[in-house]
């Protein structure tokens, strides 16, 4: 009988290293020393789990033909995605585990779900071209998230490099919601399928572009503002609720176009300065 190797301490293996059952350990640096913290934070990860659930629910709903429910689920996920990071910072519960979990949930909700919603709604009628467009969007979302994670400590927090994946998802599902609300889908006309492919592929390309977008991360919700600002917010909510699908689509489309328009204007000013200096 051969000697079995000694099991390392805190391995947490139930049967010969096959079933890890111990709690999650995370190494953090405190006072110049590496400290291992046991367990994970519940509160911010609950929001992330809600985000992931909404993405999964959107995929299932789109396959069943419930496009409005699928689009609303992605919009709810956008709210939850914005809250998990803020809650983690407010409660001082940031963690590497939370960052990775959030990124994986975003890939499902803002990468796979919008592609599947668009495919079920209109792209499936285009055959191979349709699923290729859907895959291009999903792949661009993965590349966008990977680049964001790799450059998170190097980029200016005031701007996003490329269209953020939640904004790209909002553009795609906004289109689906606005048109499917009138009973329009890929079976209605070829132009609808072409429009769906154009918007989906365009959103994917904007995600991996080098165009800068305002991140609005410097917007302080705790600061004091003029009373007029609150009045404008109330009027804004009223306008949105008059016709949510169409109004939200216009807002998402305006934000998606703001990056290229600003870049073109910046290039024009740069060329003008060079011409005057000559």
Give yes or no for a contact between 62 and 116, defined as CB atoms under 8 angstroms apart. yes
Kindly give the pairing relationship between strand 212-214 and strand 25-30: unpaired
Query: What is the enclosing helix (H) or strand (E) of 68?
Result: helix 67-90
CA–CA distance, 182 with 185 (Å, rounded to integer): 9
For the chain, 278 residues long, give each residue's pLDDT as a single digit of tens. 444 444 444 444 444 444 444 445 555 555 555 545 556 778 888 999 999 999 999 999 999 999 999 999 999 999 999 888 888 888 888 788 888 899 999 999 999 999 999 999 999 989 899 999 999 999 999 999 998 888 776 666 778 889 999 999 999 999 999 999 888 887 777 889 999 999 999 999 999 999 999 877 666 666 676 778 788 888 888 988 889 999 999 999 999 999 999 888 888 776 666 666 66
0.85 surpassed by pTM: no
Both ends of the chain: CA-CA distance in Å? 87
Name residue, tokens 């990977």: 146
Residue 236: closest CA among 250, 224, 257: 250
**Exposure of 175 by Cβ count < 10 A (0-12 exposed, 13-18 middle, 19+ buried)?**
buried
Name residue, tokens 């929001």: 47
Name residues whose C-beta falls within 8 Å of residue 94's C-beta, 6 or more positions apart in sequence. Answer: 44, 88
What are residue 37's DSSP bridge partners? 26
Count of residues making up the chain: 278
Give yes or no for a contact between 190 and 184, defined as CB atoms under 8 angstroms apart. no
Helix (H, G, I), strand (E, B) or coil at 3: coil
Residue ranges with strand state E in the chain: 25-30, 33-38, 159-161, 212-214
């Amino acid at each position: 009988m051969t000697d079995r190797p000694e099991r390392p301490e805190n391995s947490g293996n139930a049967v010969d290293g096959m079933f890890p059952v111990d709690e999650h350990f995370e190494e953090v640096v405190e006072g110049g020393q590496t400290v291992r913290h046991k367990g994970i934070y519940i509160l911010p990860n609950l929001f992330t789990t809600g985000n992931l659930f909404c993405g999964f629910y959107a995929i299932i709903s789109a396959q069943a033909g419930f496009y409005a429910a699928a689009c609303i689920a992605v919009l709810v996920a956008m709210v939850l995605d914005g809250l998990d990071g803020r809650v983690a910072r407010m409660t001082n519960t940031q963690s590497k585990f939370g960052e990775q979990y959030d990124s994986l949930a975003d890939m499902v909700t803002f990468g796979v779900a919008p592609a599947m919603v668009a495919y079920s709604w209109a792209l499936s009628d285009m055959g191979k071209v349709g699923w290729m467009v859907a895959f291009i969007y999903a792949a661009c979302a993965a590349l966008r998230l990977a680049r964001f994670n790799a450059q998170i400590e190097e980029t200016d927090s005031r701007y996003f490099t490329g269209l953020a994946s939640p904004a790209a998802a909002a553009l795609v599902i906004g289109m689906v919601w606005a048109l499917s609300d009138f009973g329009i889908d890929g079976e209605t006309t070829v132009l609808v399928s072409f429009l769906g492919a154009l918007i989906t592929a365009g959103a994917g390309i904007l995600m991996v572009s080098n165009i800068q977008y305002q991140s609005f991360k410097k917007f302080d919700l705790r600061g004091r503002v003029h009373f007029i600002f609150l009045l404008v917010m109330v009027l804004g909510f009223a306008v949105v609720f008059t016709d949510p699908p169409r109004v939200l689509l216009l807002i998402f489309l305006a934000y998606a176009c703001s990056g290229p328009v600003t870049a073109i204007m910046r290039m024009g000013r740069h060329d003008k300065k060079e011409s005057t200096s000559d």
